[in-house]
Structure 1
């Protein structure tokens, strides 16, 4: 499910990032209730948007689901502009995705982020490449909020989901309306393919900068 039309509503900006094939889109769909076990998801080759309901009173958030491929890294830091919450994802079966978390962190202006999560996905797989204790120590040393889950089976998801919603509610309650205005949900039902849209970097990223997104 892409983001619904929210042009006149305020929302929080949540960015989910990490290497390709780590399960970011499945996590996003789990969070906004659109996951289907019979749906085959292809790797994101662009920028996808998922609407997350906070509460009827507190409004909505939009999850920016970033492609994780190396060829897009040169301008991906643009997408972290004005983010409120960041979710970094790695796969417990794929060591490089864990090692690259530092690279993703380097794109983020941490002074302006309310909370950063580190998610260890695919814990349903028996042979782990990354030890849980090691990952928790790493998260602690970087000031990241760590959760382990399986986006496929849903194991461990509820605890993370609750934490994320509580965090989003705290943000909507503490930020003044005029500050949230800069995060107006300007996107319609849209998926941007970075392979097909060759003018994306010059066209859309400049729009993001102008709108402080």
Structure 2
């Protein structure tokens, strides 16, 4: 009986670890790859002329890529959230668990932002509408907020777990630096392109 109980406990612990690892893998992949790529295409898809003239289903190629990745980001974020809810059996982390609680709060905010983004996209007004700028700013701010919240959320869990902590921190630091570089590079590229177009006119 004792051996059977130990075996069941080990199996339950292994299942919990599997769900935690799956949650972490999904979330890191989504916010390190999908979200940053979606933002890149939204902000600079037309400027870098990636399919800027070709259309797919009535929309520019770069916009369709942005929309597809955005949808994948939301669906995968909900999947990651569901995995950790199953692992905790639907209970929320208590405030006395320190950084883990902070991680859960930031994660909840990110999930809300992802859902809000999809909801706003479904009901966005026509590009020629006089109110379009309101949607543009709300969509931009919500997406940017979710993305930048994901950085401390990921780093917090890396500092909690001891396995391969140094290597993961190095990777995340390099990735964060790369994101900053890409944002600055394409920002300057966009400004330069506008100046060149104005000079040619």
TM-score normalised to structure 1 length? 0.28
Bigger CA radius of gyration: 2
TM-score normalised to structure 2 length? 0.29
Comparing both structures, which one devotes a greater share of its residues to helix?
A: 2
Comparing both structures, which one devotes a greater share of its residues to strand?
A: 1
